[in-house]
Structure 1
């Protein structure tokens, strides 16, 4: 049963994770008032609060937005118009008044439409827009859209009435992203704001007469990145990661060993790990494409995970300072990594994922297995093939990860072996050995470490002549 809201609980209320995923990210939260049937306190992820009444009319569920939360007022106003900030007491009066309308066969939203739309904030409209997007079929980007609103859009223009937003205000989040040196994010915000304001002006909503974000060109040209680290560079990054301490160092090495995304590695939780089976399961809510991914873990990868002993909080996060969220501060960590590694050409942490993919190709791993490890749905699993082909390639993925782990630890991180491998005109003997048993691979790795003579003896073992 819902508890009665108080002024203190309203003031201290915060967004919570979804009930279906209590350890997941914060989501828009509705807190019912036990003293006033149908009244809810709505708390956005960015902290904005408002009042809403849920009721039924003509057998259909309806929602009436009462207005933003007002922490206090010396004298309560009994008949505030909808859209104005309301205290708890005033929201209860408004809810009672609306329910009385329903009891007399009148829908309170019918008379509230003009006032509500005139006073609707960008945050209110965004709330409805995101609900609309979540209801769409096959929508894999709503999570990123919500993140953009919470981190880049609502903090800038969230409390402004959507009907009053000017062209310059609509573009402000994009300008700020550009000023921060994030042209790619500026382009993403440009696309999100364009779609959002167009939706607000559509005939089904008509929150605004016309979009204030129209006629603007994409702010920046983009070229697809193709940076792949050389094996010498990868070795330098691996060794330099030791300078980053007990959080960022293991993260960088796990990025190299597993090929997963930075956010996925940084957000690893104890509950995602099955050490007995050497598996790491990335849940759908943490995967970029919303699809669960099962990543086989090699011995070196498990060693990096097990070396992290500082686990605090109840969420089971491996890499955290607070116990509530994964570590942050990658920009400074990357600067330190660059200084220690000394690479001549600029690179990003995401380039490690592309290097991983390229390495699998070099080792002869089939494309569909590489895509499965990267949790890609394009290529061989796109379209109809992806609907009917449900094989997860678990054994093939484990085999590929074992080969990649051997390559990183025994070739990339050994100067002699790396140099010998780079000079080979025919790498097929290495590929054959690296996918074989442990003894056979150790002989091949030893031959690479032995230089030209060692490799020649490996390919053409000397024949013992009987005495």
Structure 2
């Protein structure tokens, strides 16, 4: 039984072979990108998706649906993986996916969605404001926050029933979950959303409170210690692809989360002696092209990343960039805690003292900047690495300065990568 991460090219090759009667017997090709998902190929050339699992101690199979190449295909690779993931969650909950499917088939059709439900109004907000008022990178970022933090909580509620207390609870829950900066970002989106709704006479007033709590903004100066960085690095090894390499690249390059997560393969020049990552203007926060020199440690990491599709550096589908950061962050936190507890036991220490302070993925960017400064990198070079407008160059010199400090940035990032290599190899303390 073949095992590989399926992508469009592999599916096309399989379909071509199946059409040419290349399969003399029924075959099941496992998708390593989604455990339990199989592409079933018949000798006749027909293909279908299936999900294999165990329930009540017995192996079971759930037929997902037929697979054909083309834009009109009902069960594409992405859709099949989505169904398999949902079935896998049912198995984890102790339920038989086949029974769950039967239950859903017997459920009455949902009532028509009302135009004043939050989900509907969010759709209009994205269509008429977000996509018209922002550049592409900001659009994607805003939609991601809406889809992950706002829509799941309120999509089926009448927008007029959302109160100030609901907003405060949502923001507090996000901050309490270890993501205070996310709470600040969500508050800003909610403020724009409800003000837009007021202008359109959808609601009478915005329920978003003025300002933000100190708790939500508390981690803006958070810098991880070397010991915390060591645990993050080791936890990334445990978590593995794709989020292990993603988080390591955040540390190694000091770039923003979405700049790394949405990086395209064509942005990387890995040949010769001048390896670079060029972030195009449409993907950088300040709208300017940004060149990031790649350290030897970064190149080692990049060489080990599986190629899934031809577009994105980090992708599980081949068609879209990697996502699911909250789940990934939780997995890394869990591995960090496991490692810390094991090391405490090995040293004969009690587990009561083993605790992890909350941190966010954005804190890694600040940690890298602080680390380079500790290594003696001048502030204007650190700012150049971060793609910040330096405050050390002013006036006419600032306007005409086109020097990008490329070599200085390379030395800074190589020095920081060397420090990370030392940190990750240290004994625990």
Q: 1:383 to 1:175 in 2, by over 3 A?
A: farther
Q: Partner of 1:406: helix, strand, or coil?
A: helix
Residue 313 (structure 1) aligned with residue 312 (structure 2) = no
For residues 229 and 208 of structure 2, what CA distance do their matches in structure 1 show?
45
Counterpart for residue 5 of structure 2: none
Residue 360 (structure 1) aligned with residue 355 (structure 2) = no
Cα offset, 1:406, TM superposition? 3.0
Larger Rg: 1
Q: 1:156 to 1:124 in 2, by over 3 A?
A: farther
Q: 1:211 to 1:355 in 2, by over 3 A?
A: same
TM-score, structure 1 normalization: 0.52
Counterpart for residue 201 of structure 2: 207
For residues 404 and 213 of structure 1, what CA distance do their matches in structure 2 show?
45
Q: How does 1:406-425 map to 2 (within 5 A)?
A: 406-409=418-421, 411-413=422-424, 415=426
For residues 324 and 143 of structure 1, what CA distance do their matches in structure 2 show?
12
CA contact 1:274–1:280 (8 Å) conserved in 2: yes
Counterpart for residue 264 of structure 2: 269
Counterpart for residue 228 of structure 1: 223
Residue 392 (structure 1) aligned with residue 404 (structure 2) = yes
Q: 1:336 to 1:394 in 2, by over 3 A?
A: same
Q: How does 1:73-222 map to 2 (within 5 A)?
A: 121-131=121-131, 133-134=133-134, 144-154=141-151, 165-168=160-163, 172=166, 175-180=169-174, 181=177, 182-202=179-199, 206-208=200-202, 210-213=204-207, 218=212, 221=215, 222=217
Q: Deviations over 1:27-47 (max 9, x none)?
A: xxxxxxxxxxxxxxxxxxxxx
CA contact 2:309–2:317 (8 Å) conserved in 1: no
Cα offset, 1:143, TM superposition? 5.1
Q: 1:389 to 1:145 in 2, by over 3 A?
A: farther
Q: 1:211 to 1:288 in 2, by over 3 A?
A: same
Residue 301 (structure 1) aligned with residue 298 (structure 2) = yes
Cα offset, 1:266, TM superposition? 3.4
Cα offset, 1:398, TM superposition? 1.4
CA contact 2:167–2:207 (8 Å) conserved in 1: no
Residue 254 (structure 1) aligned with residue 266 (structure 2) = no
Q: Deviations over 1:76-131 (max 9, x none)?
A: xxxxxxx999xxxxxxxxxxxxxxxxxxxxxxxxxxxxxx9xxx945324432325
Q: 1:238 to 1:84 in 2, by over 3 A?
A: closer
Residue 371 (structure 1) aligned with residue 419 (structure 2) = no
Cα offset, 1:217, TM superposition? 6.0
Question: Any unmatched runs of 5+ in structure 1?
Answer: 1-8, 13-72, 74-82, 86-115, 420-467
Calculate the aligned-residue CA RMSD, in Å. 4.5
Question: Any unmatched runs of 5+ in structure 2?
Answer: 1-70, 75-111, 342-353
Residue 324 (structure 1) aligned with residue 320 (structure 2) = yes
Cα offset, 1:236, TM superposition? 4.2
For residues 263 and 383 of structure 1, what CA distance do their matches in structure 2 show?
32
Cα offset, 1:414, TM superposition? 5.2
